[in-house]
Amino acid sequence: MNWGSWENFLAMGGYAFYVWGSYLVTLGLVIAEIVLLALRKRSVLAHLRLHGTAARQGDR
Amino acid sequence: MSIKWFKYSSPQSFFPLAGKLALWFGALALVACGVGLYVGFFVAPTDAQQGEAYRIIFIHVPAAWMSMFLYLVMAFWAGLGLAFNTRLSGMMASAIAPTGALFTFLALWTGSLWGKPTWGTWWVWDARLTSELILLFLYFGFMALQAAIDDPRRADKAGAVLALVGVVNIPIIYFSVKWWNTLHQGASVSLTQAPTMAATMLTGMVVMAFGFWFYSIAAALMRARCIMLERERASEWVADYGRGSA
């Protein structure tokens, strides 16, 4: 497929709204999922640092 | 020859493996999606009937496949947990649900954006669309039910029953275009017949499906790692891991 120019590519034959609306939302949600997972991991680790060690000192 | 089948059935030994696998599948997903998008936008020709609007299929069809496939995998793990009472199984089922819901939403969203220019409507209460919407509600129901129960093991059991009952919806989605007269077109690619579309279009779609599949594995494993740490936070191995990464 030869689009000729960036304008043609972005215009998607007049279907730009539908095509890019699909792709951008997909990309956005996938990035959001990855960010949320990274934040979740970070909060678990922060929790461990705060409470994990305290509980262990209490064991002794 | 003895294979240690259960070696990785404990969170402690699966945790590091899941981390490595997530990284590899994430990388594979990036490569597959890159190739798939290249084929989809620069190799596949314009569709004679739908113009460029058809290029939505490169995410719509893989997302729809993943929405159904992930549900089956989730129900499989949930059922395994229910039958054998293994704690990792329930964690895997919970880890898959949000990613499954994501792909179900994307299948509906991209389908809507495809339907408007080709059918002239964003939405119809057609058998295919309605059963896919029910799938989204099944994922939401599974997550809400699990979130509403404090004890994770009981949450797993309740969720598993819901997940297993919901499996009945998957063949309904898959065969809906055959069983009923739907506005949604029949399958261009099916398990039993040769595909009815241009080879390059099919290639782009299949490569994207692999990309989404690898992404789902990576995301589910990343989430499973979080769940393992959250649920087993009182155990020695999690405390050790917490100290190691501090």
Q: Long-range contact list for A48-51, CB < 8 A, 24+ apart? A: A48/B229, A48/B233, A48/B238, A48/B239, A48/B241, A48/B242, A49/B242, A49/B246, A51/B233
d(CA B185, CA B110): 15
d(CA B29, CA B50): 28
d(CA A32, CA A26): 10
d(CA B155, CA B144): 10
The pLDDT, as a whole number, for residue A27 is 97
CB B18 within 8 A of CB B217: no
- Say if A31 is an interface residue toward chain B (CB within 8 Å): no
d(CA A18, CA A37): 29
Residues of A in contact with B52 (CB under 8 A): 12-15, 19
The pLDDT, as a whole number, for residue B179 is 87
d(CA B83, CA B44): 47
Q: Which among A1, A21, A55 is the nearest to B44, CB-wise?
A: A1
Cross-chain Cβ contact B239/A51 below 8 Å:
no
The pLDDT, as a whole number, for residue B225 is 96
The domain ranges of chain B are 15-233
Q: Which among B52, B56, B226 is the nearest to A40, CB-wise?
A: B226
What's this model's pTM, rounded to 2 decimal places?
Answer: 0.91
A54: nearest CA partner in chain B: B239
- Say if B99 is an interface residue toward chain A (CB within 8 Å): yes
Cross-chain Cβ contact A14/B233 below 8 Å:
no
What residues does B47 pair with on adjacent strands?
A: B51
Cross-chain Cβ contact A19/B53 below 8 Å:
yes
- Say if A44 is an interface residue toward chain B (CB within 8 Å): yes
The pLDDT, as a whole number, for residue A2 is 76
A20-43 pLDDT, tens digit per residue, is: 999 999 999 999 999 999 999 999
- Say if B49 is an interface residue toward chain A (CB within 8 Å): no
CA angle, B41 then B129 then B71, to 5°: 85
The pLDDT, as a whole number, for residue B5 is 64
d(CA B125, CA B141): 21
- Say if A24 is an interface residue toward chain B (CB within 8 Å): no
What are the mean pLDDT values of chain B's consecutive 10-residue runs (246 residues total)? 69 92 97 96 89 94 97 97 91 97 98 93 93 97 96 94 96 90 80 76 95 98 95 89 75
The pLDDT, as a whole number, for residue B182 is 78
- Say if A58 is an interface residue toward chain B (CB within 8 Å): no
The pLDDT, as a whole number, for residue B214 is 98
pLDDT exceeds cutoff 50 at A60: no
d(CA A42, CA B3): 35
Instruction: Report which of B175, B214, B204 is spatially closest to residue B192, judged by C-alpha positions.
Output: B175
Q: What is the CA radius of gyration of chain B?
A: 20
- Say if A20 is an interface residue toward chain B (CB within 8 Å): no
Cross-chain Cβ contact A53/B239 below 8 Å:
yes
Report the complex ipTM.
0.89
The pLDDT, as a whole number, for residue A53 is 55
